[in-house]
Amino acid sequence: MANTDIGIDLGTSNIVITMGNKGVVLSEPSVIAYNTRTERVLAVGKEAYEMIGRNPDYIAVVRPVSEGVISDDDLAHSMIREFIIKVTGHQLLKPRIVICVPSFITDIESRAVVDAAKSAGSRQVYLIQEPIAAMIGAGVNITKAKGHMIVDIGGGTTDVAIVSMNGVVTSYTIKTAGNAIDRSIMKYMQNKFKLLIGERTAEKVKIELCNLYDPSDEITYMVKGRSLMKGLPAQVLLSERELFEAIEDDTFAIMEAVRKVLEDAPPELVGDIYDNGLLMTGGGALLGGLPQLIKRTLGINCNIAKDSINCVAKGTGMAFGKMTALLDGFESATVYKYR
């Protein structure tokens, strides 16, 4: 693998970039801030994320990737270019780029991703499906005739897939993931406590308080926001059980997706999965108590991949070394060159 080869996990919430043998060289929020009057890009990544909810009218802070696909071509092109310049220095070396995409992506959406990478100065662009990248990044040998199940919970989408012999046998993607859970928390606080909170606060509450397996009334977290009744700053004590109540529907939507993929899979592969368990990757894999809840509800062992947040990006970078095997293993162009 050449030192300039770049792997990109273009997520709804975060963009993670690997480069050559260096591994992960950048992990930042997929956010871009620009001045609407001058149309000049002001910041990308962490710097732009800090501006969310604190920006004046003429500065737009945008996530150009929505639910796993590019929603704003121009801003996505600018954001990817800025990030690639950040990791390569100002001299663009015309790198080869592998970009990870959700398994449900359409040809038009694929083309938007490829165009974004081309505009950033790459000489060759490859696409790889998220479940395959996640499996490779987690160190799973997917070349054998043995079923492996992956649940990749990102910011915009949850990808559930069964992989065997270098190919996706069956998969299902839902748009219930990290961001949807944050929105559910915001809605719950608004309806039950008449407290208005932002997405960053909701995300912090989710990280600090989430316990899906055995939620308690005793463990609480202080949530600060604005009272809808008085319009003044206010704070509320939220318990684990109340947070579970807020995100229960989202959690069971994810488990329903797992159940659906298992129902659609050949019996032999389901037997393999019963033996191997399922592998969880993405930021959502770290939701407190989720593996135990899945085991209790569906009767399948769950393993969280090592470094689950960067797993997909690592696999994307490692795909260069497996390019021949992957290309031979996919008639459906899961990994392909775009000329």
What residues make up the domain containing 129? 6-133+312-337
Q: Where are the alpha helices (DSSP H) in 120-266?
A: 130-137, 178-193, 199-209, 240-264
Q: State residue 297 phi and psi, 5-degree precision.
A: -85, -45
pLDDT of 332 above 60: no
pLDDT of 93 above 70: no
The three-class DSSP label of residue 299 is coil
pLDDT single digits (tens) 254-277? 999 999 999 999 998 999 999 989
pLDDT at 327: 54
Could you tell me if 294 and 316 lie in one domain? no
Closest C-alpha among 273, 325, 324 to residue 303? 273
pLDDT at 2: 61
pLDDT of 294 above 80: yes
Could you tell me if 153 and 31 lie in one domain? no
Mean pLDDT of 134-143: 89
pLDDT of 32 above 80: yes
Average pLDDT, the chain: 86
Could you tell me if 192 and 166 lie in one domain? no
> Of 202, 219, 246, which closes a domain?
246
> Of 212, 246, 280, which closes a domain?
246
pTM of the complete model beyond 0.75: yes
CB neighbour list of residue 1: distance below 8 Å, 6 or more residues apart: 20, 21, 317, 320, 321
User: Is the residue at 1 inside a domain?
Assistant: no
Helix (H) or strand (E) holding 327: helix 323-329
Count CB neighbours of 232 within 10 A: 7
CA distance 257 to 272: 19
Number of domains forming the structure of the chain:
3
pLDDT of 48 above 60: yes
Least confident of 126-130, 199-203, 218-222: 126-130
CATH assignment of the domain containing 280: 3.30.420.40
Mean pLDDT of 64-89: 83
Could you tell me if 182 and 170 lie in one domain? no
pLDDT single digits (tens) 224-238? 999 999 999 999 999
> Of 225, 246, 267, which closes a domain?
246
